[in-house]
Amino acid sequence: MQSIIHTAESRGGADHGWLKTRFTFSFAGYHDSSRVHFGSLRVLNDDWIQGGAGFDKHPHDNMEIVTIMLKGELRHGDSMGHTEVLKPDEVQVMTAGAGIYHSEHNNLPDTPIELFQIWVFPREKNLEPRYDQMWFDPEARKNKWQTLVAPDIDNALLINQDAWFSRTLIQKGEALSYSFYGEKQGAYLFVIEGSVTVGNLELNKRDGAGIWDTRELSILANEDSDILVIEVPHW
């Protein structure tokens, strides 16, 4: 098993007042040539957005964009005609494909929101843009994997890549294995909350680790933990 660790404190970031964000990989004004991507995983941004604030209409193309809501409500509008609100435990997937415009704003005037925005390089370019979102029951991921995004699984959001997003809530002292879906894949494990041990790696809140050259991960919860695993082709 090979691995690389990105501690929470080592991430890039920005504070615009209305937006506080941390970047696991190079993004906007933060650039680290050793942290541009992990295989097909290009962006993992940890965003806090002030009440009523947000991103005005802006373009994207040829990227699979996944938004995972943690707290609050995010109002989304796009050039495909969608006007939606995402709430906690909802996930949104967009195929930007040949090109889209969208906007994202905190739907609550006085309450900050928290979310992850994640970008994955697509399997094919210039596809027809596509949008979907789904709510996932947190009870269904207690001490087991809940698949949020996949190329081929029912009851998960579709992505145009050999990528699987899985989330679990592991109780302290419990262990859980993760088996890779394919060969030549890597997994990026991100600790949303808590602390876990993976092999000889100890990861705490908002730490991330890219892991490859193995077909299975064994995860032990040192405390109650909320874990996201993003499996992608590893180049």
Q: Kindly tell me if the per-residue pLDDT of 235 is higher than 90.
A: no
In the chain, CATH 2.60.120.10 sits at 11-135, 138-233
In this prediction, residue 179 carries a pLDDT of 97
In this prediction, residue 67 carries a pLDDT of 98
Q: 36-94, pLDDT tens digit by residue? A: 999 999 999 999 999 999 999 999 999 999 999 999 999 999 999 999 999 999 999 99
What pTM was computed for the model? 0.97
CATH code for the domain defined by 138-233: 2.60.120.10
In this prediction, residue 127 carries a pLDDT of 96
How far is the C-alpha of 221 from the C-alpha of 195, rounded, in Å? 6
Q: 129-166, pLDDT tens digit by residue? A: 999 999 999 999 999 999 999 999 889 999 999 999 99
Continuous H helices in 92-211: none
Continuous H helices in 66-146: none
Q: 186-220: buried (b, 16+ CB within 10 Å) or exposed (e) per residue?
A: bbbbbbbebbbebeebebeebbbbbbbebeebebb
Summary mean pLDDT of the chain: 97
Residues with Cβ within 8 Å of 10's Cβ and at least 6 positions away in sequence, in order, are none
Give SS3 for 183: coil
Q: Right CATH number for 11-135 from 2.60.120.10, 2.60.120.1440, 3.40.50.2000, 1.10.357.10?
A: 2.60.120.10
In this prediction, residue 112 carries a pLDDT of 98
In this prediction, residue 39 carries a pLDDT of 97
